Copies of this chain bind each other. A is one copy, B any other.
C-alpha cells in the first residue's frame, strides 16, 4: 500500500515570519493539517487541549516516549514537548494529504532521521539586522531579551544544513509563493506521480 501523506517541516528563528507563512499555507492547502504537539506544561489561558497542544502529565509523556510514540521530543525549561507518530494517523483518518510540523531545527533533525522522505523548509529573515528591527518593532521585549533572541536565531541558522529548502522572507508575498511552490513541486516529483504515468501506459 502506497502512503501519499506529504510531510512538511517548517522551522525558522523567531521573528522570521513563520506564523504568518504557516497560516497562509494551511489556508491555501486545506488538505494539510497542522501537527499538534504533546507537552507536559500547563495550558495557558485560551489554549485548548487537542488543538493548541495535547496536554499530558509528565508520567504519561514519559510512558509514550519510552514506547517510541514520538517522532521527536525535547525538554525545554523543565517541560517536555514532543511530536507523536499518531499525528500521522490523525491526518490519514481525516482524509488529509499532508501534515505540517512547526518545530525547531533539533526536532527537524530528529524527524529527518526517522522519516527521510520528509520535506524540511527553513525560513530565513533577509538579514540579522532586519530580524532585530522586527523584534524591536513588536515593542514587547527589552534589550536583553532581544539580544538573547538574536543569538538564538544565529545559533539556529547555523543548522540550515538539515533543511532541503531555504525560503528568504524579504517579501511576504514572494516567500508565500516560494513556500506554496515547494509544496506543489514536492507533489510533482516523479516518484509521486509514477502511478499516474503507469496508469497511462496501461491504457
Q: Which of B164, B184, B189 contacts A190 (CB 8 A)?
A: B164
- Complex Cα gap A125–B177 (Å): 25
Q: Does A182 contact B (CB under 8 A)?
A: yes
Residues of chain B within 8 A of A1, CB atoms compared: none
* Number of residues from A at the complex interface, CB < 8 A: 40
Residues of chain B within 8 A of A177, CB atoms compared: 184
Q: Which residue of B lies closest to A128 (CB)?
A: B203
Binary interface encoding of chain A residues 186-203 relative to chain B, with 1 for a CB under 8 A from any of its CBs, else 0? 111110111011011101
CB distance from A117 to the nearest CB of B (A): 16
Q: Which of B164, B166, B189, B203 contacts A196 (CB 8 A)?
A: B166
Identify which of residues 139-182 in chain A touch chain B, using a CB-to-CB cut-off of 8 Å: 154, 157-158, 160-161, 163-168, 177-178, 180-182
Q: Which of B166, B184, B203 contacts A127 (CB 8 A)?
A: B203
Residues of chain B within 8 A of A165, CB atoms compared: 185, 188-190, 193
Report if A197-B164 is in contact (Cβ < 8 Å); known contacts: A178-B188, A184-B182: no
Report if A124-B178 is in contact (Cβ < 8 Å); known contacts: A200-B157, A201-B157: no
Q: Which residue of B lies closest to A159 (CB)?
A: B197
Q: Does A129 contact B (CB under 8 A)?
A: yes
Q: Does A103 contact B (CB under 8 A)?
A: no
Q: Which of B161, B181, B196 contacts A168 (CB 8 A)?
A: B196
Q: Does A56 contact B (CB under 8 A)?
A: no
Report if A154-B201 is in contact (Cβ < 8 Å); known contacts: A166-B190, A193-B124, A193-B168: yes
Q: Which of B128, B157, B181, B189 contacts A184 (CB 8 A)?
A: B181
Identify which of residues 92-144 in chain A touch chain B, using a CB-to-CB cut-off of 8 Å: 121-122, 124-125, 127-129
Q: Does A25 contact B (CB under 8 A)?
A: no
Q: Does A183 contact B (CB under 8 A)?
A: yes
Residues of chain B within 8 A of A186, CB atoms compared: 185
